[in-house]
Structures are given as structure tokens and as C-alpha cells.
């Protein structure tokens, strides 16, 4: 762990935390969410370019499960969920990502049925994955 300006920074199972843990101060929690939001935004920009990048991201262990976790957690800003859905939408454009969507389809369907603000986007993702890509 590195000490930067009196805030501990470290990594735990691929997750970067700017605080000592979830029991840290509110400012540290806010910083954790800001780091998460920026990383999801970076993933969105990266997956917007090429199918090779989309397949590489989708094939990372736990990548899809963690993206759905951002959508379903309701922790942080609502924009975080929209960014994560945007990453999933980008990933759905590559036909080779179909097998990576199968383990998360139930979670996506549950969110689509319970959150009207994300329902349309998730329905489009499922249509791309199971319509166009499954042919």
C-alpha cells in the first residue's frame, strides 16, 4: 500500500481502493466511487473501438459479473449504472462475446424489469446478443 496525501491507496482482487476499506471516512468512500466511475468510463471508451478489444474485455475473469455488479449495486451515482450498461452495450456488438453474456443474462433481465431508466438499454443489449450475434 502507498500513502498519498494521508489517504491509503491499494489494490485488492483487481479492485482499486483509495480508502482503508468501506468503513473509512465518507470522503474516502466518495473517492472510491470516483475511481470506479472513471475506470468504467475508460472501459466504455476502450470498448467503443474494435471487436478485438471487446472480446478481450469480455473474456477477462469476472469482468462481466463486475459490470453487472455496478449496474445492480445501486451504490454511487446513477450515471455509474448507465456507464456500465454502455460498456455492456459496446461488448454486445462483437459476435464472439455471446458466451460471456450467458452467465449474466438473468441479472440483466431482473434489472431491466425493475429499473425503467435502464430497461430500454438492457433490452437493446439482449436483442443484440441473442438476436444478431446468435445467428
What confidence category does residue 130 fall into, taking pLDDT thresholds of 50, 70 and 90?
Answer: confident
Per-residue confidence (pLDDT) for residue 131, from 0 to 100:
80
Q: Where are the domains of the chain?
A: 2-132
Residues 6+ apart with CB under 8 A from 15: none
Distance CA 20, CA 111 (A): 31
Q: Is the Cβ–Cβ distance between 73 and 115 less than 8 Å?
A: no
Instruction: Give whole-number Cα distances, 121 to 88, 117, 128, in Å.
Output: 10, 8, 11
Q: State if pTM tops 0.85.
A: no
What confidence category does residue 45 fall into, taking pLDDT thresholds of 50, 70 and 90?
Answer: very high
Q: 71: closest CA among 102, 104, 42?
A: 104
What confidence category does residue 64 fall into, taking pLDDT thresholds of 50, 70 and 90?
Answer: very high
Amino acid at each position: 500500500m502507498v500513502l498519498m496525501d494521508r489517504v491509503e491507496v491499494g489494490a485488492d482482487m483487481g479492485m482499486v481502493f483509495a480508502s482503508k476499506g468501506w468503513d473509512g471516512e465518507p470522503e474516502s468512500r466518495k473517492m472510491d466511487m470516483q475511481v470506479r466511475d472513471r475506470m468504467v468510463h475508460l472501459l466504455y471508451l476502450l470498448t467503443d473501438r474494435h471487436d478485438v478489444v471487446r472480446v478481450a474485455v469480455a473474456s477477462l475473469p469476472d469482468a462481466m459479473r463486475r459490470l453487472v455488479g455496478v449496474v445492480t449495486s445501486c451504490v454511487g451515482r446513477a450515471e455509474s449504472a448507465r456507464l456500465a450498461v454502455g460498456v455492456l452495450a459496446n461488448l454486445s456488438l462483437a459476435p464472439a462475446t455471446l458466451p460471456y453474456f450467458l452467465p449474466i443474462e438473468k441479472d440483466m433481465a431482473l434489472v431491466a424489469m425493475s429499473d425503467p431508466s435502464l430497461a430500454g438499454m438492457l433490452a437493446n443489449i439482449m436483442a443484440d446478443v441473442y438476436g444478431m450475434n446468435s445467428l
